[in-house]
Amino acid sequence: MNKQRNLATAISVCGLFAALSVVIMLASYLGVTTYAVPALAGALLIIIYLEFGVKSAFTVYLAVSVLSFLICEKEASLCYLLFFGYYPFLKAYIEKIKNKALQWVIKIALFTLSFSAVTLLCIFVLGLPIYDMNLGLGNIGLLVFALALEVMFVLYDIALTKVITLYIVKYREKFRKMLRLNKNK
């Protein structure tokens, strides 16, 4: 009985977080939030991953990816699909590597490859004009844009670590108590 209640709770919470993520993704139509909105929506997966596991987090990621492509701004949806949606729970696996320098090399390489794919898809599939990305400065503008994204990613990763720590230390037990989750999880 307790197992069934926990399953029902997991399904309900995952559905709620998926809906909240899609609502957050709708803010992508504001224009200036193209990268911030998928980052925030993806960060919500931390709780799903920590409380219900990688399968539940991946299921929410897939649901939000599909729904955001149907109703949200396409560039932000690509950012979520190709990086921000899965990174919060992939981060845990990368950080199991003992060598911190190697962790950062993997993280930055993953981010760079993912955002290169986002950029290429935006230009060649979605038809986004390249001058939107080069800040009107040609190739130097593209380099500045790419470096700014890399810095943004490093700050995002550091902030994500702090949010995860804050959740575990301060809010996890309250969340579990509120949902009456089994402590054996």
Confidence at residue 135, expressed as pLDDT on a 0 to 100 scale: 56
- Tokens 């490093």 — which residue? 154
Query: In Å, how far are 1, 28, 44 from 178, measured between CA atoms?
Result: 18, 31, 17
**pTM score over 0.85:** yes
Confidence at residue 127, expressed as pLDDT on a 0 to 100 scale: 82
* Residue 78 · residue 38 · CB < 8 Å: no
Confidence at residue 152, expressed as pLDDT on a 0 to 100 scale: 96
Q: Which stretches in the chain have pLDDT values below 50? A: 185
Confidence at residue 18, expressed as pLDDT on a 0 to 100 scale: 97
SS3 176: helix
Distance CA 120, CA 135 (A): 17
Confidence at residue 130, expressed as pLDDT on a 0 to 100 scale: 61
Residues whose CB falls within 8 Å of the CB of residue 26, separated by 6 or more in sequence, listed in order: 71, 72
* Residue 126 · residue 74 · CB < 8 Å: yes
Confidence at residue 185, expressed as pLDDT on a 0 to 100 scale: 46
